[in-house]
Structure 1
Amino acid sequence: MSGRWGPDDERGAANLIDAAAALRGSACVRTGQVVPLAIPIANGQLGPAADHRPAPQHYMTRHGGDYAAGLAEKPGYGFSDDVLMVPTHGTTHIDALAHVWQGGVMYNGFKATKVTSRGAAACGIDKAGPFVTRAIFVDFGGEGSDQTRAIMPDELVDAVAATGTTPEPGDALLIRTGWLGAWRDGAADKMSSAGLHHECAPWIVEAGFALVAADNIAVEVMPARDPACAMPLHIALTRDNGVYLAELFDFDTLAATGRTDCMLVIAPLNLKGGVGSPVTPVAIL
């Protein structure tokens, strides 16, 4: 199973994020408004992330109390330091291509055994690089939106067409389902959310999207509509085609602007062997 970019490729659709993609993104900048798309990270609070992941831990290794207790300042200044421990998929994040597999095989034919207790020896997030591109934003998350719905291919195609922007290879697709807002209001369950039906995958690949980001846990509808696979969209996009998925984005402010296109900047951690990365993405309008 060789990918579009050769038998040794570990970057997948990130290969489409080139200078032309960045320039398309920059052409969307008209007001200069910068919209943050990440949810907060708070000590001991898991937030909307899946319950099997540990909550972030944030603690101080140097602070004002140390000096009050008698620690001598260095000449002319004092300082504080802290440590953050957070699951790579425990907040707003992007999945590496090594995150999922089927039948013991992940993207581009690499064996799942390449992922060990030391991390991913192939297709890790360190291979992805930054994502600077044009994004097309579609909003299915209006007030009262159904948080159990599966967004079908015809709905997705129509929503993208309604933006007036024709996708080009290397673009990103941003999808607001309304799940994050519903979860904050106590009206949504973590393991049941609106999202893309797996049958959307062929069109997403054909359109040339390098990345799909959503405001829910998995991008795809949960539970999945395929009884044979718990995460069929992950397999069809990431495993089979190298398309990146990114989750737990906060699109409420972006939706309020009324914009459907933007410059998107996502810089994953250069985490060697990581199977995902926390990110603080921004949309520039």
Structure 2
Amino acid sequence: MASNTPRVVAVVGGTGNLGSSVARSLHDNAQFHVRVLSRDPMTEKANALAKDGIEVVKCDNWNAEDLQRAFSGCWGVYINIDSDDPNFKQRIGPPELEMGKIVIDSAVKAGVKHAVHASLPAASKLTNGKVSLLAFDDKAAISEYMLEPGRFETASVVSAGWFLENAFDPKYTAAFGGFATTPDAEGYLTYRVPAMGNDPESVPWLAVAEDYGDFVHGVFLNPSKWHCKYIHGVSESASFSDLTAKFQQGKFAIFSLV
């Protein structure tokens, strides 16, 4: 490949929080040409990427022929599958693991050399079978499948810490006391969480939009260095009380164990 020819990197899940961060980070580097795969290229998120000059192609992740066409000419692939898909969460039809295998097999057949997967640790293994979280276990199994010898020239895993953006997601603010958008009865933005069991607790926070894509970008700049490595994407490690203290510099906020 000529040095001035951009390396094409396909981004599976490129309209999501993690994928769009990856797509935008790589797009800022002339060494790469980003190709985002989307079930519907006409969505608002897909259109926003396209308006910024990022290629968006229609692709069904269950369809191997679709995937192989989308992967044609690609040097690398970033894979993140949406575990919040209702079919996965309600166990309707094939599991996330099956989709992951289809995506990986299609990339291999298309001649993709370098792969990165957004994964999670296997909850069932960490707890000796006491706790099984489907999304965690399936993502871990997908990573193991990707890392098997003979599939890719290099393969790496880049996991994500606790999204800082969750503090502004209504689903999460409702679950954690209202922080950081809904004041309590006394006018405070209160972050309520159960005791985690590690004292003092240290939470691996991640600014997804600002930082996650750069971690993956770094892997693609030197894939051989990161082959078969598990990388934890963390912007800063801090306690919940530290986070609320920093936020309090702009608004009244407190941390409360429940």
Q: TM-score, normalised by structure 1?
A: 0.28
> By percentage of residues, which structure has more helix?
2
User: Which structure is richer in relative contact order (CA contacts within 8 A, separation 6 or more)?
Assistant: 1
